[in-house]
């Protein structure tokens, strides 16, 4: 039975080929999200986090295993998957409201109503006619999030969306994203290197190891919101995640030939 927002990855493997060599990037990835869940993936550079996100987005279909969204195989990009990158990728010649509407006309009453509702959701009322060059980095990312939400995707995929922001703006954007998630309850899958960001936002955190990319641990975050970054429970989760990240997988034996 199809369940909107349910993401299923089973025995997923990905290998890159080129110049007579092959690189095994993802190995036997198995995950199942709950509809409306906020899941975060953390891990070292090169562990395949972004590759995994591209597969879920339908941008990479050359893999082995199962990748399904809402009970249907992921075979291509589509409106059921919203994607937010580190750079907002707004159209500089369009205003905020037209960036959100993208290829839809604001003259259509239903589109106008949805755009207005999203402007309120991302707290950009009053900036409808502004252009991207007039916005801060955090505001631009909120426009990108609103644009992704306009088509009511089953899942919102976020690839280091706040990585280019300063610490203060990043903290504010984390709170804004959490507020959007609580109000909208869209399933969210976030890739980040920031442990504190993962703890602050997530229902569950997937810890990955590299070469090839594997799932080392899936850790539920059983903290109520709002979460105190300086509290003892928060610090305990930080230590738990650091230990999971640093845990080394046993190396295969070196045989003499």
- Residue of higher predicted confidence among 101 and 252: 101
User: Is pLDDT above 80 for 215?
Assistant: yes
Q: Is 101 a domain residue?
A: yes
Tell me the per-residue pLDDT of 26-57, one tens digit each, with 9 for 90 and over. 999 999 999 999 999 999 988 999 999 999 99
Q: Is 41 a domain residue?
A: no
Paired tokens of 46: 């090169």
Q: Is 94 a domain residue?
A: yes
Q: What is the mean pLDDT of residues 166-188?
A: 91
Q: What is the mean pLDDT of residues 124-145?
A: 94
User: Is pLDDT above 80 for 203?
Assistant: yes
Q: What is the mean pLDDT of residues 225-247?
A: 93
Cβ contact 202:195 at 8 Å: no
How many independent structural domains does the chain possess?
Answer: 1
Angle subtended at Cα 111 by Cα 38 and Cα 101, rounded to the nearest 5 degrees: 70
How far is the C-alpha of 219 from the C-alpha of 208, rounded, in Å? 11
Q: Is 113 a domain residue?
A: yes
How far is the C-alpha of 160 from the C-alpha of 42, rounded, in Å? 10
Question: What's the mean pLDDT when you consider all of the chain?
Answer: 91
**Predicted model pTM:** 0.89
Q: Is 77 a domain residue?
A: no
How far is the C-alpha of 97 from the C-alpha of 135, rounded, in Å? 13
Sheet with 155-159, strands from edge to edge, namely 81-84, 155-159, 187-191, 38-42, 204-209, 214-220
Chain position carrying tokens 């709950």: 34
Q: Is 7 a domain residue?
A: no
Of 3-12, 136-145, 215-224, which gets the smallest average pLDDT? 3-12
Residues of the domain holding 108: 87-152
Report cis status (omega within 30 of 0) of the bond before 226: yes
pLDDT at 85: 86
Q: What percent of the chain has pLDDT over 70?
A: 95
Q: Is 129 a domain residue?
A: yes
Chain position carrying tokens 């203060």: 168
Q: Is 100 a domain residue?
A: yes
pLDDT at 251: 42
């Amino acid at each position: 039975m199809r369940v909107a927002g349910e993401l299923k990855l089973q025995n997923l493997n990905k290998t890159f080929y080129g110049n007579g060599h092959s690189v095994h990037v993802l190995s036997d990835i198995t995950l199942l999200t709950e509809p409306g869940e906020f899941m975060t993936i953390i891990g070292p550079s090169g562990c395949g986090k972004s590759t995994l996100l591209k597969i879920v987005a339908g941008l990479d279909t050359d893999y082995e295993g199962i990748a399904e969204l809402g009970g249907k195989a992921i075979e291509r990009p589509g409106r059921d998957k919203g994607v937010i990158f580190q750079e907002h990728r707004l159209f500089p010649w369009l205003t905020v409201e037209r960036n959100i509407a993208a290829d839809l006309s604001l003259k259509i009453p239903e589109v106008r109503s949805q755009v207005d509702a999203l402007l309120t959701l991302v707290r950009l009322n009053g900036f409808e006619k502004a252009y991207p060059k007039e916005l801060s980095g955090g505001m631009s990312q909120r426009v990108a999030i609103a644009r992704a939400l306009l088509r009511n995707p089953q899942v919102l995929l976020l690839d280091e969306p706040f990585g280019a922001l300063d610490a203060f703006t990043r903290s504010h954007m984390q709170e804004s994203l959490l507020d959007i998630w609580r109000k909208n309850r869209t399933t969210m899958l976030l890739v980040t290197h920031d442990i504190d960001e993962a703890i602050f936002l997530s229902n569950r955190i997937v810890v990955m190891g590299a070469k090839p990319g594997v799932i080392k641990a899936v850790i539920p975050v059983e903290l109520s919101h709002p979460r105190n970054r300086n509290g003892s429970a928060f610090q305990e989760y930080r230590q738990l995640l650091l230990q999971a990240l640093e845990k080394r997988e046993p190396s295969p034996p070196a045989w003499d030939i």
